[in-house]
Amino acid sequence: VCAGGAMFAAFPHWYATLFSGFYIPFVFMLLALILRGVSFKFRAKIDNHKWKSAWDWGMFIGSMLPPILWGVAIANFMVGVPIDESKNVVGGFLQLLHPFALLGGVMFLLLCIVHGLQFLTIRTTGKLRERARIA
């Protein structure tokens, strides 16, 4: 939020162009983060296998989608996004999903997984630490 505000103050045209061009991925990212938080809360409400399984899937999707979308966004920033003369991003959401961007999304997801495993290795003991170290 702070970076977005600083970007708006320093480069308002760049902010307007990129945030409007990446609006759909950012909304998906926000919805995934909301789904993740709701999943933690509602999973324990009812003791039913289907209920818990559904919220486990919600947790999985809500945890995997944001890093993938951040990787896609960063890869598109690296390659460059086509902008027309009126400072609008050319194309839609599907144009952002080219092979390099998808590779960037997968690599960012793997980076987050490795970071989580390193955190578990540092902060835990016993069997969980060994499992994180082996993975």
**Please, which residues bridge with residue 83 across strands?**
89
Check pLDDT > 70 for residue 72. Answer: yes
What pLDDT was estimated at residue 1? 66
3-class DSSP assignment, residue 89: strand
> For residue 83, which amino acid is it?
I
Taking only the tens place, the pLDDT of each residue in 84-105 is 888 888 888 888 899 999 999 9
Contact 60, 24 (CB under 8 A): no
Residue with the two structure tokens 């970071």: 115
The stretch 71-93 carries a mean pLDDT of 88
Contact 61, 94 (CB under 8 A): no
Q: What is the DSSP letter of 81?
A: -
What pLDDT was estimated at residue 135? 77
Contact 61, 86 (CB under 8 A): no
Going by pLDDT thresholds of 50, 70 and 90, the confidence category of residue 133 is: confident
Check pLDDT > 90 for residue 7. Answer: no
